[in-house]
Amino acid sequence: MTVDAAQTRIKSRTRTPWTPSQIVLTLIGVAVSAVFLAPLAWALFTSLKSETEAVEVPTHWLPEDWTGQAWKALFETGNITNWFVNSLVVSVCVTAVVLLVSALAGYGFARTEFRGKAFLMGVVMAGLMVSPAVLGVPLFTTVQQMGMVDTYWGMILPQCAPAAMVYILYKFFQSIPKELEEAAYIDGAGRWRVFFTIIVPLSRPSLSAVGIFTFIASWNNFLWPYMVTNNPDLMTMPNGIATVMNSYGIQWAQLMAGGLMAGLPLIIVFVFFQRQIVSGVAHTGLAGQ
């Protein structure tokens, strides 16, 4: 990743001239970008119309009367702030737990020996194929048995056992030279100290990739919260917007405002941390190879 970063930096420093092919490519790029952004612009404009203007036929792009009505109604009548906090609590907890347990497990599988390791690793690999979408009903009845339906625990814990993240970190830890650890052992450091003072700092890029990816997945997760809670006070953003806001007959301006509220936090974070997120997504994705 550092090589990539260095390359882009060099590229941006040496300005290339506007050759005909660059002009054509840039124009295509602008056109394609417009196609990608147009739906979002449409959502934004709709949210700034009144409900009656939003459904007017024939439809038009820009509001004739710019109004913040829909946004105001969103905050005044709905539980959107509640959902926002729930989303934050769930995503932060899931990310923290996933980072901790999958880093430990990845290291355990990569660098320690214990009885049954090969077998357990096989089981974890098989677990890559199980997701709430595949086994939703049995997973729900399991969580029900534990008495965790309609609780934060029930929403958080089942999202905390991603075999994929363990596998990604396992592969990364295997690539760290063993000599680094061995030197520390000679100095008398124990396993845990080596893990926290040598391995974790060395793996910051991989860990942040896993963290970012987990956070995005958890913030946007719809299916599991949808199954595990019907309580509007416990819902997360994607969940509340899709179920509660749709249930009274759709008010499009308000729905678009809510959708933007759900999407904006990640978009803002992305704009600021683009490089890390891009390399994080590429890194976690590529690790599947």
Interaction residues for other proteins, span 59-78 (CB under 8 A):
59
| Residue closer to other proteins (CB basis): 71 or 195 | 195
Binding to other proteins (CB under 8 A) within 12-41 occurs at 12, 16, 22, 25-26, 28-29, 32-33, 36-40
Residue 256 corresponds to which tokens in the numbers above? 């678009």
Shortest distance, CB of residue 116 to other proteins, whole angstroms? 9
Q: In Å, what is the CA distance from 182 to each residue of 58, 186, 194, 195?
A: 72, 6, 9, 12
| Binds other proteins (CB under 8 A): choice among 64, 68, 75, 130 | 130
**Spatial distance between the Cα atoms of 229 and 236, rounded to a whole number of angstroms:** 10
Distance in angstroms (rounded) separating the CA atoms of residues 39 and 23: 26
Shorter beta-carbon distance to other proteins: residue 81 or 246: 246
Q: Using CB under 8 A as the criterion, what x/- string covers residues 230-269 for binding other proteins? A: -------xxx-xxx--x-----x--xx--x--xx--xx--
The residue from 13, 20, 76, 133 that contacts other proteins (CB under 8 A) is 133
Residues 145, 175, 177, 204: which binds other proteins (CB under 8 A)? 145
Asked if 83 contacts 267 with a C-beta cutoff of 8 angstroms, the reply is no
d(Cα 235, Cα 226) in Å, to the nearest integer? 8
Applying CB under 8 A, does 183 fall inside the site for other proteins?
Answer: no
Cα 167 from chain centroid (whole Å): 18
Residue whose CB is less far from other proteins, 36 or 76: 36
Q: Tokens in use for 1?
A: 């990743």
User: Which amino acid is residue 59, in one-letter code?
Assistant: T
Q: How many CA atoms lie within 13 A of 79 on its CB side?
A: 20
Instruction: Determine, following the binding rule CB under 8 A, whether residue 52 of this chain makes contact with other proteins.
Output: no
111 lies in the site for other proteins, by CB under 8 A: yes
CA distance 281 to 20: 33
Task: State the nearest-atom distance from the C-beta of 289 to other proteins, in Å.
Answer: 5
Residues 196 to 215: which contact other proteins by CB under 8 A?
Answer: none
Q: How far is CA 267 from the centre of its chain?
A: 11
Which range touches other proteins (CB under 8 A), out of 63-71, 72-80, 97-105, 203-211?
A: 97-105
